[in-house]
Structure 1
Amino acid sequence: MKKDKPKYRIIIDAAVTVIAENGYHQAQVSKIAKQAGVADGTIYLYFKNKEDILISVFEEKMSLFTDKLMEILETEMPASDKLKFMIENHFDVLSADRHLSIVTQLELRQSNHDLRMKINGVLKEYLVLLDVILKEGMESGEFDQDMDIRLARQMVFGTMDETITTWVMNDHKYDLVRLAPKVHRMLMKGMRA
């Protein structure tokens, strides 16, 4: 499988850097190839086109969030703690990779409709895992049992997303990770029974 090959990962990481530094529309395949240290043609052994690169970047990097969230879900702890660790991980991942934060918060949003639909398909897996936390909390009585789960999901993800976008728009000038407990506390106030 192509995804197991080292060059695939090198190209993915190069694409994150080039897209973050140049913007998606200015990120030519040749720039990505140069950043990856491969010939232009090598890119096409792994990807159909630039759109395929962006979707692959999102799929690959989204696993940093979903894999950790699956680990969190398997632990024996209250749903509120699982939510806290989810928020912390989300902020940790993006704080540790500023280029990735620019790509996820800014560049993915400028894409065309078809691309957005493919990206939303990848994001859906993460949101389904968030729903598991919300349902657990409702069943245990930690969260309001009459809560609208769809609205709660939008509130949680939207709050995290907007907090990160604001941090990116402010050139990463403050410590994003330090905001995680505050975000968690505010969300909990809105969802407690």
Structure 2
Amino acid sequence: MHFMRTRLQKEDFSEPKGIPNDPRKRAKYMAIVEAALAAFSEYGYHDCPVSKIARKANVADGTIYLYFANKEEVLISVFQEKINRLITDIEELTEDCTNSWEKIEVLVRYHMTTLGNDRVLANFLQIQLRQSSSNIRIGIAAPLKKFYGLIEGFVLKGQKEGVIDSAINANIARKLIFGCFDEVISCWVLSRRQYDVTERIDDVLYILGRALVVDLENR
């Protein structure tokens, strides 16, 4: 029974778990996911009991446990839903790009714009998710690895196309790309100043282009 589970196994969250196929149940599941996103961002993961999630989802506390084993599983499911949505959107948006540097540009713009226009999601991904236990790190590993793989795949293909400098280690390039926009977004979330983080997108792409692209001036 869900109530009896006290620990998470490594394989539990390699893919989204417990997602119902029935449309009505799926809608309830997603309502809980969205409520949890808002609750974790508002109260912080550690200070957010399941009751606060239930209240925001307009369901009874016990309903949460029909879909999730515990609060850790809720957090993991929120991450899986959101990161998989980002990956799917980026894959669709980059289908018609003429080269892999354009794909990287689209990825950076879309990621930074999405989070820049949704501070709740940005707070969750940049802050709340990083105050987590080893079980949660295991749970989010698969979709995060997929996101990293998407970036690194663009780099590798760009090197084959002659667009990205082939002398650069693709794994290091991926870390540079992710680390650059990730740090800019984190600073924005934590800052007391009010500013539009999407105005930093061109700066991020300029730096990345100078670091990675072959013959950038003629592209």
Structure 1 position 151 matched with structure 2 position 172: yes
Ranges of 4+ aligned residues in structure 1 off by more than 2 Å: none
Task: Provide the TM-score with structure 2 as the length reference.
Answer: 0.84
The amino acid of 1:155's aligned partner reads L
Q: Deviations over 1:119-145 (max 9, x none)?
A: 122211111111121012111111111
Structure 1 position 88 matched with structure 2 position 106: no
Stretches of structure 1 that go unaligned for 5 or more consecutive residues are none
Q: Where does residue 99 of structure 1 map in the other structure?
A: 120
1:149–1:158 CA distance, 2 compared to 1 (3 A): same
CA distance in 2, matches of 1:127, 1:75: 21
Larger displacement relative to structure 2 (8-17 or 88-97): 88-97
Contact preservation (8 Å) 1:59, 1:122: yes
2:72 pairs with one of 26, 51, 72: 51
Larger radius of gyration, structure 1 or 2? 2
The amino acid of 2:20's aligned partner reads K
CA distance in 1, matches of 2:167, 2:126: 32
The amino acid of 1:69's aligned partner reads I
Larger displacement relative to structure 2 (130-139 or 36-45): 130-139
2:32 pairs with one of 11, 19, 23: 11
Task: Provide the TM-score with structure 1 as the length reference.
Answer: 0.95
Structure 1 position 22 matched with structure 2 position 37: no
The amino acid of 2:36's aligned partner reads A
Structure 1 position 134 matched with structure 2 position 155: yes
Count how many residue pairs are aligned between Structure 1 and Structure 2.
193
CA distance in 1, matches of 2:191, 2:100: 32
1:75 pairs with one of 74, 84, 96: 96
How far 1:110 moved relative to its partner? Answer: 0.6
CA distance in 2, matches of 1:171, 1:2: 40
Contact preservation (8 Å) 2:177, 2:208: yes
Stretches of structure 2 that go unaligned for 5 or more consecutive residues are 1-18, 215-219
Q: Where does residue 115 of structure 1 map in the other structure?
A: 136
Query: What is the RMSD of the two structures over their aligned residues, measured on CA atoms?
Result: 1.4
1:171–1:66 CA distance, 2 compared to 1 (3 A): farther
Q: Where does residue 2 of structure 1 map in the other structure?
A: 20
Contact preservation (8 Å) 1:19, 1:27: yes
Identity %: 36
Q: Which has the higher helix share?
A: 1
